[in-house]
Amino acid sequence: MISIKSKDEIEYMRKAGYLVSLTHKYLKPFIKPGITTRELDKLAEDFIRKNGGIPTCKGYEGFPTALCTSVNDEVVHGIPSNRKLKNGDIITIDMVIGYQGYQGDAAWTYSVGSVSDRKKYLMKHTEEALYEGIKQVRPGNRIGDISNAIEVYAKRHNLGIVRELIGHGIGTEMHEDPEVPNYGKPHMGPKLKEGMVICIEPMLNSGSRYVYQLDDGWTIKTSDGSPSAHYEHTVLVTSDGYEILTPRLDDEDV
Ligand code: MF3
Ligand code: CO
């Protein structure tokens, strides 16, 4: 069942999404060589709680922390640790925040110091793939239109599309219907209606699409060791298009 949010619920979703955006913006200046992913997690958790939010990932099916921090060939669900970031790394920070019972979810890949052209290409085109998907969001279009736009864009740029993990609906729960794959056929799948809220989140690899899970039960890595990027927005279907509920506030200087 795909829920349709009321006006009041949308207001709560907007606030939850905005706190996600603020937390990303707050973290960005700390993403420098030498900081550990655990320190980033602590900064995030304190900031989220100080602002009245709840870090939804912490405790979700046993996940231990507020953030997922996935470095280089880690695709998603990396667990913050005493790993120090190094110049040339890329790190995806993914977070879900509950605010007055409603959830916001957004992931960004950040560069640490100066990164290779290959990583820059990956980041630029993964973010662009997300926006290609978002451009398909309007009442009457279908989930497959989003999926296909991402697939076509990723293939055109020779990036491997991770298939094992997909986007999702969101509301009072972090994962709701519908599923939002990053590949698929146009005009297929559930129809979008005003008031639906979905998370669109391409995970693209510099190399092959194949991934595996570490023994920690969470971290997903690329099978060939190639770098991976992940960009995610929480998106509301409006009467004539979309509204991004997790706007980027952190790239004013990019
Ligand atoms: N943004 C991730 C998702 O869409 C969040 C996973 S959090 C975890 O699934 F709790 F599962 F780690
Ligand atoms: Co998500």
> What pLDDT digit, counting tens, does each position of 169-210 carry?
999 999 999 999 999 999 999 999 999 999 999 999 999 999
Distance from the alpha carbon of residue 76 to the mean position of ligand 1, in angstroms: 8
Residue 97 has pLDDT above 80, yes or no: yes
Q: Is the pLDDT of residue 63 over 80?
A: yes
Q: What is the per-residue pLDDT for 252?
A: 56
Ligand 2 midpoint to CA 84 (Å): 25
User: In this structure, are residues 30 and 43 in contact, taking their beta carbons and an 8 Å threshold?
Assistant: yes
Residue nearest to atom 11 of ligand 1 (CA): 57
Distance from residue 60's CA to the centre of ligand 1 (Å): 8
| Banded model confidence at residue 2, pLDDT cuts 50, 70, 90 | very high
Report which bound ligand comes closest to the CA of 75. 1
Report the nearest atom of ligand 1 relative to the CA of 95.
1
Nearest CA among 20, 201, 169 for reference residue 99 = 20
pLDDT above 70 (res 154): yes
* pLDDT at residue 253, rounded to an integer: 47
The strands making up 160-161's β-sheet, listed across from edge to edge, are 160-161, 203-205, 228-230
Across the chain, what does the average pLDDT equal? 97
Sheet holding 176-180, edge to edge: 176-180, 167-169, 197-200, 233-237, 242-244
Is residue 73 pLDDT above 50, yes or no? yes
Q: Rounded mean pLDDT of 100-114?
A: 98
Residues, Cβ < 5 Å to ion ligand 2? 105, 199
Task: Tell me the per-residue pLDDT of 8-36, one tens digit each, with 9 for 90 and over.
Answer: 999 999 999 999 999 999 999 999 999 99
Confidence of residue 254 (pLDDT cuts 50, 70, 90): very low
- The whole-angstrom separation of Cα 31 and Cα 173 is 29
> Which amino acid residue places its CA nearest to atom 4 of ligand 1?
167
165 CA closest ligand 1 atom index: 9
Ligand 1 shell residues, CB under 6 Å: 57, 60, 63, 68, 77, 94, 96, 105, 107, 199
Quote the pLDDT of residue 250.
79
Average pLDDT, integer, range 118-146: 98
Helices 117-134 and 143-156: angle between axes, nearest 10 degrees:
160
Compute the distance from residue 197 Cα to the ligand 1 centre, in Å.
Answer: 16
Q: Ligand 2 mean position to 106 CA, how many Å?
A: 7
